[in-house]
């Protein structure tokens, strides 16, 4: 991963360099004051101009939920679809016009509950979509029911005695679908979030990004135990490809393998142990990434996996190009193999 945004080369584009304000629509943003969504919107609006893609070639597609209002606030093409179905619509958009860069904004309810099936299939097909899953572990727009990522036992309006559903792990789900790009970031860490979004934007294929996002009204502080200032360095691990897994404000903690499980080791930062795990986003199998996805202390963020494989639109267009060696002849198609002529 590039260390700063400046080091990231821009994609070929046309026209003058756009700015964040060019991506702001004329609609008033109507999230609750203090919502984590504002920060993500701002990060996206800052990243897009760096990509060099004209804004008419960018499409934001969403489902239903607080996060799904996102397209209305972007001055690009946008489609606020129905609950859970953003990925299906986005698949049609991308494969119809591969020139477009298509982003999907979804949440833990929209993307993992009602739309869970579509997530599996979009990722396995490697549809070239940038999927941002805002995970606040709650249903916000319907005012506070538990979601598929709510922690077990959580008391909400619809679970006064605590939830009895085991939560889903979005990163593990994505990896199990062989998603070609899987990452995690936090709404309150704007520079790192921007880096991850930029990497996702530049990835060819499905890019799945889980964003820890705070719902200030219905689940305030859901991620504080790992993301709050002062604890973040101790509780989260920033993944860097080819680098040993080191964290802590003093860079004195690392991850090594004990049997089939990761363990935390503490050391003198001047003498980094040789047996620390080295992160490998490009590993052919998802084993390492999957292990990391289940780590609770520290919680990894950054890119878990980034591998290349053909995208759905490439394969689809490839078959069409191959089929076109037979020239399209409508009348021949109409006639089929066994036509006959009546002459009298």
Partner 1 sequence: MSDISTKPKQSTSTQIEVIESAVIRFAGDSGDGIQLTGSQFTTATAFAGNDLSTFPDYPAEIRAPVGTVAGVSGFQIQFASREVLTPGDAPDVLVAMNPAALKANSKDVKKGGILIVNKDAFTPMNLQKAGYEKNPLEDGSLSDWRVIPVELTRLTRNALEGLGLTAAQTERCKNFFALGIAYWLYDRPLEATVRWIEGKFKKNPVFVEANKKALHEGNSYAETAEIFGRHYCVRKAPIKPGVYRNITGNEACALGLVAASQASGLALWYGSYPITPASDVLHELSKCKNFGVKTFQAEDEIAAIGSAIGASFAGLLAATGTSGPGVALKTEAIGLAVMTELPLVILNVQRGGPSTGLPTKTEQSDLFQAIYGRNGDCPLPVLAAATPGDCFAMAYEACRLAIKYMTPVILLTDGYLANGSEPWLVPGAAALPKFEKRTLLSPAEYKPYQRDPQTLARSWATPGAKAYEHRLGGLEKQDVTGTISYDGDNHEKMVRLRAAKVNKLTQDIPPTEILGEKKGQILLVGWGGTYGSITAAVQNLQKRGEKVSSIHLRHLNPLPPDLGGILSGFERVLVPELNMGQLLKVLRAEYLVPATGYNKIKGQAFKVVEIEEAVDVILEDLKKKGGKN
Q: Does 118 bind partner 1 (CB under 8 A)?
A: yes
Is 121 buried (19+), middle (13-18) or exposed (0-12) by CB count in 10 A? middle
**Residue 117 lies near partner 1 (rule: CB under 8 A):** yes
Stretch that binds partner 1, among 35-43, 55-63, 200-208, 290-298 (CB under 8 A): 55-63
DSSP letters for 221-270:
TTTHHHHSTTTHHHHEEE--TTSB-EESTTS-EEEEEETTEEEEEE--TT
Is position 333 an interface residue for partner 1 (rule: CB under 8 A)? yes
Q: Does 324 bind partner 1 (CB under 8 A)?
A: yes
Instruction: Tell me how far apart the alpha carbons of residues 299 and 288 are, in angstroms, rounded to a whole number.
Output: 14
Interactions with partner 1, residue window 21-40 (CB under 8 A): 25, 27
Smallest gap, in angstroms, from Cβ of residue 340 to partner 1?
A: 6
Q: Among residues 219, 216, 214, which one has the least CA distance to residue 189?
A: 214
The correct pick among 225, 249, 266, 319 for binding partner 1 (CB under 8 A) is: 319
Task: Single out the residue of 201, 192, 243 nearest to residue 101, CA to CA.
Answer: 201
Residue span 127-156 as binding mask against partner 1, x where in contact by CB under 8 A, dash where not: ------------------------------
Select 75 or 214, whichever has its Cβ closest to partner 1: 75
Query: Could you tell me the smallest distance in angstroms from the CB atom of residue 276 to partner 1?
Result: 40
Q: Which of 24, 38, 57, 233 binds partner 1 (CB under 8 A)?
A: 57
Task: Determine which residue in the list 78, 254, 262, 302 makes contact with partner 1, applying CB under 8 A.
Answer: 78
Considering only residues 299 through 318, tell me which ones interact with partner 1, judged by CB under 8 A.
316
Of 24 and 256, the one with the shorter C-beta distance to partner 1 is 24
Max CA pair span of the chain = 99
Q: What's the DSSP call for residue 24?
A: B
CB 109 within 8 A of CB 61: no
**How many C-beta neighbours within 10 Å does residue 145 have?**
16
- Side by side, the strands of the sheet bearing 261-266 are 246-247, 253-258, 261-266
Six-digit token string for 336 = 């089929």
Scanning 42-50, 91-99, 179-187, 277-285 for contacts with partner 1 by CB under 8 A, the matching segment is 91-99
Which residues have CB under 8 Å from 269's CB, separation 6+? 250, 251, 252
Binding residues for partner 1, per CB under 8 A?
25, 27, 54-57, 59, 61, 64, 71-72, 74-83, 85, 87-97, 99-100, 117-118, 120-121, 316, 319-320, 322-328, 330-331, 333-336, 338-344
């Amino acid at each position: 991963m590039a260390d700063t945004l400046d080091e990231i080369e821009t994609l070929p584009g046309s026209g003058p360099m756009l700015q964040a304000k060019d991506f702001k629509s004329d609609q008033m943003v109507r999230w609750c004051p203090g919502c984590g969504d504002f920060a993500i919107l701002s990060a996206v609006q800052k990243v897009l101009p760096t990509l060099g893609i004209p804004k008419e070639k960018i499409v934001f597609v969403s489902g239903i939920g607080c996060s799904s209002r996102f397209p209305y606030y972007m001055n690009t093409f946008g489609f606020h679809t129905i609950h859970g179905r953003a990925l299906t619509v986005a698949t049609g958009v991308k494969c119809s016009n591969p020139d477009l860069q298509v982003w999907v904004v979804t949440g833990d309810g929209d993307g993992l509950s009602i739309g869970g099936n579509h997530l599996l299939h979009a990722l396995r097909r490697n549809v070239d979509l940038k999927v941002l899953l805002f995970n606040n572990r709650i249903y916000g727009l319907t005012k506070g029911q538990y979601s598929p990522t709510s922690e077990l036992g959580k008391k909400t309006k619809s679970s006064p005695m605590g939830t009895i559903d085991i939560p889903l792990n979005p990163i593990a789900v994505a990896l199990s679908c062989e998603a070609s790009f899987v990452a995690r970031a936090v709404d309150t860490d704007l520079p790192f979030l921007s880096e991850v979004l930029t990497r996702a934007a530049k990835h060819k294929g499905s890019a799945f990004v889980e964003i820890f996002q705070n719902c200030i009204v219905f689940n305030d502080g859901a991620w504080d135990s790992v993301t709050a200032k002062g604890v973040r360095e101790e509780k989260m691990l920033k993944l860097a490809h080819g680098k040993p897994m080191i964290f802590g404000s003093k860079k004195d903690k690392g991850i090594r393998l004990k049997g089939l499980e990761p363990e935390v080791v503490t050391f003198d930062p001047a003498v980094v142990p040789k047996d620390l795990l080295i992160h490998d986003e490009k590993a052919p199998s998802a084993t390492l990434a999957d292990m990391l996805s289940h780590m609770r202390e520290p919680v990894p963020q950054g890119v878990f996996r980034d591998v290349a494989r053909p995208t759905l639109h490439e394969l689809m267009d490839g078959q069409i190009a191959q089929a076109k060696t037979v020239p399209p002849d409508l009348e021949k198609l109409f006639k089929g193999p066994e036509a006959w002529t009546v002459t009298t």
